[in-house]
Amino acid sequence: MFVQTFALLAIAAAPGLVGGPAPHPTSAKATPVTVVATDFSFSLPATLKAGPTAFTLVNHGKQAHHFFLIRLEGGHTTEELVAGMKSPGPPPPWAVFAGGPNAVDPGGTSFPTIVDLRPGNYAVICIIPGPDGVPHVMKGMSRSLHVAGAAARPASLVTTRDTITLNDYAFGIPWTMHAGTTRLTVRDAGAQPHELVVVRLEPGKSPQDVASWVEKMAGPPPGHFLGGVSPIAPGQVNELVMTLAPGRYALMCFVPDAKDGKPHAAHGMMREVTITR
């Protein structure tokens, strides 16, 4: 079951930017695609057209899920990728992390995450573990996606003024996040893959509480998972249409470190953001 229309998603420039110091470039319109996650599968089209695509993840499951898009180079397949994940080690060089909507609560709907789809073959997986510690991909949560279209095309996603950079190991936010809806750029400026997980914190809870909870997933979560950007490779860009109410949020990255395997949050890649108005 999926919903897909080819109507163009027109996202207005964020309110509050009028009168800012510089005009900001606007990216291309994106085709909306809604993906439904359950425990443990994805419903999405087998083929999509190339170009900017705004993925929204609707979670009908009882566990958190994300939509993690991986571009498969050199004719490799989703089956090979999943088989390789059964043994530890770094991802194969032909698997390019391409992002997509990050973790969203059971019963929730993620922020739209815009990926500039290039033609070729992709795997869509969920590597979030359940309370048993087993990543959902090992329970069958993987799909193949073919992207059809012409190869030669300039990149449609541009670096906008509102950019969050993912660094080794910090979130760079050289602007003031505010309440309301913002279409922003998320760019991996580091040497490793990174992700952006957006969590609305419960009163009294901190990013560290989120990092601790994720390890065992026991008891009530310290916040609500709203989406974000699934892991992207160095140099890769997604856009995020983020709607925030006033409150306290945690920005997190749980990608395992290339050197010691610890989640990047343990290296300090977590940040609390307070939205006042």
Return residues touching Cu ion (CB under 5 A): 194, 253, 255, 264, 269
CB of 264 to Cu ion, least distance (A): 3
* In the complex, least distance from residue 48 CB atom to Cu ion, rounded to whole angstroms: 27
Asked whether the beta carbons of 272 and 201 are under 8 A apart, the reply is: yes
Q: Which of 204, 197, 203 has the alpha carbon at shortest distance from 253?
A: 197
Q: Which residues of 208-225 are buried (b: 16+ CB within 10 A; e: fewer)?
A: ebbbebbeeeeeebbbbb
Q: Which is nearer to Cu ion, 56 or 102 (CB)?
A: 102
Q: Which residue from 138, 140, 181, 190 is spatially nearest to 162, judged by alpha carbons? A: 181
Using the minimum distance from each CB to Cu ion, give the nearer residue, 66 or 194.
194
Is 36 or 103 the residue whose CB approaches Cu ion more closely? Answer: 103
Task: With beta carbons less than 8 A apart as the criterion, state whether 50 and 56 touch.
Answer: no
Question: Minimum Å distance from CB 166 to Cu ion?
Answer: 6
Q: What is d(CA 68, CA 169) in angstroms, rounded to the nearest whole number?
A: 20
**Distance between CA atoms of residues 178 and 52, nearest Å:** 25
Closer to Cu ion by Cβ: residue 43 or 165:
165
C-alpha to C-alpha distance for 239 and 158, rounded to whole angstroms: 9
**Which CB sits closer to Cu ion, 14 or 255?**
255
Residue 188 CB, nearest distance to Cu ion (Å)? 8
Task: Name the minimum Å distance from CB 182 to Cu ion.
Answer: 22
